Chains A and B, each alone.
Chain A
Amino acid sequence: MIFGPNGAGKTTLIKIICGLLHGFEGRVRVNKKDIQSLHAKQVAQLISYQPQFDEFSLPLKVKEVLLSGRYPYKSFFKDYSKEDFHIYNEVVKRLKLEEFVDRDINTLSGGERKKVMIASAFIQDVSIIIFDEPFTFLDPGVISYLTGMMKEMNRLGKTLVVVSHDFEILYPLVNKMIALKNGKIVYSGNRVFDKEMLKKTYDASFERIYHNDKEIIFLDE
């Protein structure tokens, strides 16, 4: 979990990790490989980036959006292979998206779009998935679907990097936390509730309670 106040540089950081931004100091290494030395397609076989908002404006079939997850594995002159379609069909079936595939992505609700983007990360078959504020504007039902999917991804051995402020949702799930402020890492470590650190990061107090066995973190007003 990467957190920190607005404008701390969280999105910039993950865009650098994905190779979307260039011209920075230092290096990004993923699985011991230098991201900058890799071709865009090779990066896309490692990392799937889930931006905060998608920018679909022209009509596109959900099927086409999902199949594009196999694009990093396709050579330029060839069409999608049998294996690509096999993976696509398998994920569509597993996530129960059959009724959506022929619809225009722009006609879906925010929650349905999120489901499609999650499915496309599965289809892309990467080991790292980066979410930028995934819970914004979602209803509780979709949020619980999303956290369920995140647990599932984790169980399959995938690494999830999540930029979020939603401690209530995310805190019970994370095992590493990084706090950013003014472009600098002010905390990096295991999941730990440190009142002082949170206060310093956000200029706001957080409280922790236990409900049955569940640990809950919330903003203390």
Chain B
Amino acid sequence: MNKKYIFISVIGLVVVLLLPFIGAVKLDFGSLFSNDSSTDSIIFWQLRFPRTLLGFIVGSTLALSGLMFQNIFKNSLATPYTLGVSSGAAAATVVAMRLGISLPFLGLSGLYLYGFLGALITIAAILGIAKATKSFSIYTLLMSGVALNFFFSSLILLVQYLLNFTETVSVLRWLMGGLNVSGYSEVIFLLPLYLFFVVTAFLVRNELMIISGGDSFAHSRGMDVKRFRMLIFIIVSIVIGVVVSIAGPIGFVGLIVPHISRLIFKDDFKSVIFFTVITGGLLLVITDFIARIIIPPVEIPVGIITSFLGAPFFLFILISKLKEQ
């Protein structure tokens, strides 16, 4: 088991360190580490390297969020977006784009702030519905999420309809999800939140494991099921709100990575968490790499690639595992 941990960690490290060297522009290795102002050095240190780091953090966060949601809703089809938090963030961002308001915030684009506000509004709406119906059951949460998802999707379509052609294109691009950053402000901003999130997941691993056995099972083991589910919902939603504001709604990672981890690394739930964190990051870094190089010099939004390559890859693993049994 220890070997598996080391193996996947080494692969993760190698991929993150190696992929930024490859891309549409061939880099002169010599200038990367000596001359700070050369074009090659800027491409590597200000574009590709922070982009890879951001990709790892975003992918890892999406995958871990998916895993946590699947367990607290004991539903293997739950994704970080199931409860509408990301469509809330997307709707708010699109509205802000339409209105042309964007106040820079801590050195980050002001649009991020609106995305995050949208996520908070969604969280408040779901908590409000739960409180009004005095029910914090899985059913209430999922159904409220479905309703909110539809509402925000229509809002996005409405705003898009009202936009002119150029604005529509930029909104569409944002909705496809992407990791186009320059410099490290996004990475630095996300890093503490990401570390907090991963540590939290490991701390509550027993609770996450037990709650997946159902409410009465978890309760009879002495868990405060409602409070735990609410706590995880709020933490995951806030984290997802921040990530979606920055990278757009990148789909699929949050759905398949937990499944891949469960299929391949099923020693215990602790190792499922560990592999979800690493493979989530790796999957997005690799798909983003493919998005960068597949039709040079055009960069395809990574959100398209994740589903495009992720779906067959997932089916392949699923079928080969089913054959094994």
Contact = CB atoms under 8 A, between A and B. Distances in A.
A61 B266 contact: yes
A64 interface: yes
A56 to B, nearest CB: 5
Contacts of B70: 58
A49 B212 contact: no
Interface string B196-224: 00000001001001101111110111111
B30 to A, nearest CB: 50
A148 to B, nearest CB: 23
Contacts of A191: none
A12 to B, nearest CB: 13
B269 A64 contact: yes
Give chain A's interface residue range (CB within 8 Å of chain B). 35 or more
B223 A40 contact: yes
A49 B214 CA distance: 13
A159 interface: no
Interface string A113-136: 000000000001000000000000
Contacts of B170: none
A107 to B, nearest CB: 9
A59 B262 contact: yes
Nearest to A117: B217
Interface stretch (B71-79, B142-150, B171-179): B71-79
A81 interface: no
Nearest to A58: B212
Contact of A40 (B217, B224, B262, B268): B224
Interface of B: 70-71, 74-76, 203, 206, 209-210, 212-217, 219-224, 262, 266, 268-269
Given A47-B220, A54-B214, A57-B212, 5 more contacts: A50-B220, A51-B217, A57-B74, A57-B76, A68-B206
Interface of A: 15, 18-20, 39-45, 47-51, 54-61, 63-65, 68-69, 71-72, 74, 76-77, 104, 124
